[in-house]
Amino acid sequence: MKSLKKYLGLFIVAALFTSGLFIQSCSEVKSTELQKTIEANLTYAPYVPNKINRDRPAKVIVEMEVRELVGRLSDGVEYTFWTFGGQVPGQFIRVREGDEVEFRLHNHPTSKLPHNIDLHAVTGPGGGAVSSFTTPGHTSVFSFKALNAGLYVYHCATAPVGLHIANGMYGLILVEPEEGLPPVDREYYVMQSEFYTEGGYGEEGFQPFSMEKALDENPDYVVFNGSVGSLVGDNSITAKVGERVRLFVGNGGPNLVSSFHVIGEIFDAVYQEGGTSVKQNNVQTTLIPAGGSAIVEFKVDVPGEFILVDHSIFRAFNKGALGKLAVSGPEDKTIYSGKTEDKLYNGIEDQLGAIDRRSGKYNNTNRENYVSKYSSEAQNVDYSSLAEAANSSHKEESSSSVSDIVKMGKRVYQTTCFPCHQSDGEGIANVFPPIKNSDWIEKNGKAGMIRAVNEGLSGEIKVNGKSYNNIMPPQQLNEKEMTAVLTYVYKQFNNSDETVTAEDIAKYRAGKLMAKK
């Protein structure tokens, strides 16, 4: 069988060679008839393979391995991902219009299931799915001609297809137009998708797929590049002031449509739906369908952090759809000044009387009464009960180690608190107060912190000499998470050995834990 193939191959090569000679002797060789064979360089998100510099098509070989693996969906949360290439999203493929692509799909022997690939860039039944259907421990090979330029989604299409996509089997293939794309300084690969887990957002441990939530199209996670936080902190994408940035943005779905937006930037150009012409300039938010894509380009003019979001905004705030573009370079105050002034505005109610912060209702007594009432209450601290609480909390600690609590606190912080207070605890100047070395925390103590987390905090406060006037919503944390995150905040950001225990919370609820002066 094998030797037969070999002979057949030799025969074809010989035939091509002679016909090639024949053509050459008769007329000039057309550029498309002498094809180079090259191996595609595949990249993992957020990186994109280099621009194609060929002026003619080639035969491009793509090798991709399907792996099923347990990985991180969020800090402390694990999920079984089915992947193209070992990560979610799958590797970025870049070919040129007219290329002949030989696709070799390997399904790793440890896979539980057969898989295949449907590339939206393929013209042919199933987009390659039929020809690439591969049982574990096998390889399928098929070829297609990249007839249409554009940015295309690929995904696994094995039944039940929704499950294969929901578990992470998607990625992008760019078929670059013959004439290429306009030059830019940076290109990145961002892919949105949802995960349907049995436990709610942030619920720790291994989370199995929830078929019920998938059928309801109600995910707990909406993320960029496969997990919460995969595009923030050290993983942020970067650019320098003055550079042009191009984002290849895909939406793997399986269900939701993305309202893709970069906070503080305007897309100079959008290749809508991943097509090859710029359909619109100056776009704030572009819609990316499930199983679709868009190419957006913009020049970064000022330094700072630009947040990538799905502007269906609860997904960004509560489900993980956040990324960060960090731009470095000199400021340009004519384009963006930063905050230039901050003065008191007390509103009309100031003339009528202060607002009672606790009830949110107008207080008929005047402001002085209001202030003195609370300061006297604050002086009325029962220090003996505090000391008792501290003692008992130390006893408790010996059973569950402080480092475990701090670890958990870190996870809670990085899923709940960091969007405003930032990973370093410094907050955002003039908008969200720092909780690092915060005199507010020192003054208000455990009770203040528990109140802020439990009931939220709004109105003007002073932290480290600066005024902030914003709203912190109540946080949906259970008792354990609350104690962990507050202990973490003390330890990590305030250089303090103070711990917040379940007992503290019980005391607070009973009205026995008061703010320190």
Q: Which residues between 50 and 109 bind another protein (CB under 8 A)?
A: 67-70, 80, 109
Span of 119-127, 231-239, 277-285, 374-382 interacting with another protein by CB under 8 A: 119-127
Give yes or no for residue 133 binding another protein (CB under 8 A): yes
Closest approach of Cβ 1 to another protein, in Å? 8
Interacting residue with another protein among 20, 125, 456, 473 (CB under 8 A): 125
In 108-147, at which residue ranges do the beta strands (DSSP E only) sit? 118-119, 138-145
Helix (H) or strand (E) holding 18: helix 2-26
Question: Judging by DSSP bridges, how do beta strands 237-240 and 267-271 pair with one another?
Answer: unpaired
Are 69 and 86 spatial neighbours (Cβ–Cβ below 8 Å)? yes
Closest approach of Cβ 75 to another protein, in Å? 22
d(CA 177, CA 97): 5
Taking the least distance from each CB to another protein, the nearer of 169 and 489 is: 169
Find the Cα–Cα–Cα–Cα dihedral 385, 389, 391, 394, rounded to 10°: -170
Taking the least distance from each CB to another protein, the nearer of 127 and 320 is: 127
Contact letters for another protein, residues 184-213 (x by CB under 8 A): ------------------------xx-x--
Helix (H) or strand (E) holding 12: helix 2-26
Give yes or no for residue 130 binding another protein (CB under 8 A): yes
Taking the least distance from each CB to another protein, the nearer of 213 and 446 is: 213
Taking the least distance from each CB to another protein, the nearer of 227 and 272 is: 227
Closest approach of Cβ 112 to another protein, in Å? 5
Give yes or no for residue 163 binding another protein (CB under 8 A): yes
d(CA 173, CA 121): 7
Interacting residue with another protein among 38, 113, 241, 420 (CB under 8 A): 113
Interacting residue with another protein among 87, 91, 167, 197 (CB under 8 A): 167
Give yes or no for residue 137 binding another protein (CB under 8 A): yes
d(CA 316, CA 429): 21
Give yes or no for residue 158 binding another protein (CB under 8 A): yes
Interacting residue with another protein among 93, 157, 290, 500 (CB under 8 A): 157
Span of 155-163, 326-334, 345-353, 437-445 interacting with another protein by CB under 8 A: 155-163
Residue 78 burial (C-beta neighbours within 10 Å; 0-12, 13-18, 19+): middle
Give yes or no for residue 111 binding another protein (CB under 8 A): yes
Residue 69 burial (C-beta neighbours within 10 Å; 0-12, 13-18, 19+): middle
Closest approach of Cβ 70 to another protein, in Å? 7
Span of 152-160, 336-344, 412-420, 452-460 interacting with another protein by CB under 8 A: 152-160
Closest approach of Cβ 209 to another protein, in Å? 6
**C-alpha closest to that of 478 among 446, 499, 505:** 505
Which amino acid type is present at position 256?
A: L
164-167-170 Cα angle (round to 5): 70
Helix (H) or strand (E) holding 296: strand 292-299
Give yes or no for residue 138 binding another protein (CB under 8 A): yes
